[in-house]
Amino acid sequence: MDIHEFIENFAAQFDDTDAALFTAETNFKQLDEWSSLTALSIIAMVDDEYDVIIKGNDILSSDTIQDLFNIVEKQQ
């Protein structure tokens, strides 16, 4: 798995947030646009792109995009 591609896929789930704001260290739940609906888009994206179903707790326990990447990578 490539972290840069993961960040791109992650950023694509947002409509109004500047793509430049997304890095491995971004605290994604602090973003203004983050909502429970974005969380569902992320779960769907991870299923589509990585064939992994993440749990609600995986998102709740992650602060940064890197944290979530690590969880997905482990389950692949």
Partner 1 sequence: MRIAGMSACVPATVEDNLTLPIYKDENEARKVIASTGIERHHKVDAGTTASDLTVKAVETLLANMGWSAQDVDCFAYVCTSRDYIAPQTACVLQDRLKLRSDCCVFDLPFGCSGWVYGMSIVGSLMSHGTFKRAILVAAETNTQNRNPRDTTVRPLFGDAATATALEFDPEHSRPMNFMYGVDGSGFDAVWAPYGGMRNPVTPEALEEKEVAPGVFRRGIDMIVNGMDVFGFAIKQPPHSLKGLIETFHIDVATVDLLLLHQANKFIDEKIRKAVKIPPEKTPYCLEEYGNVTSASIPLTMVSRCREQLSGSDEKHCLACGFGVGLAWASMEFYAGDVKMVDVIEY
- Catalog residues that contact partner 1 under the rule CB under 8 A: 35-37, 39-40, 43-44, 47, 53-57, 59
Of the pair 1, 37, the CB lying nearest partner 1 is at: 37
Of the pair 23, 27, the CB lying nearest partner 1 is at: 27
Q: Minimum Å distance from CB 20 to partner 1?
A: 24
28 residue type, one letter: F
Residue 64: phi, psi to the nearest 5?
A: -105, 165
Other beta carbons within 10 angstroms of residue 11's beta carbon come to 18
Other beta carbons within 10 angstroms of residue 38's beta carbon come to 19
Of the pair 21, 55, the CB lying nearest partner 1 is at: 55
